[in-house]
Amino acid sequence: MFDTGTHYEMALFRERMRKAAVPVAWLRKATPQVFRGALANFDVALDAPDWSGGLTAVECLAAHVPVAILPGPHLRHRLAMGMARAAGVP
């Protein structure tokens, strides 16, 4: 998981993952090459809840990494969901 949110958002998300006993690897922002290399180690990718991953979600889908998506009320929240559906992912 890339550590790109605000301090409050990241602290809240980290705490929720800890309480749920979900093992999460936190990564800093990365170059496209580093990100693509890291995909080989992903079990699942989490789409950003406040702003859809867009290209990130496409890269994950192309690497056969499932993407957990929570679409919101705005178009920007639903980009990854639309791309996943277009790729035939339920």
Residue type, 89: V
Reply yes or no on whether the pLDDT at 3 is more than 60: no
Reply yes or no on whether the pLDDT at 1 is more than 60: no
Residue-level pLDDT at 63:
92
Reply yes or no on whether the pLDDT at 2 is more than 70: no
Reply yes or no on whether the pLDDT at 10 is more than 80: no
For the segment 35-89, what is each residue's pLDDT rounded down to a tens digit? 889 999 999 888 876 667 788 888 998 999 988 888 878 887 788 888 888 888 8
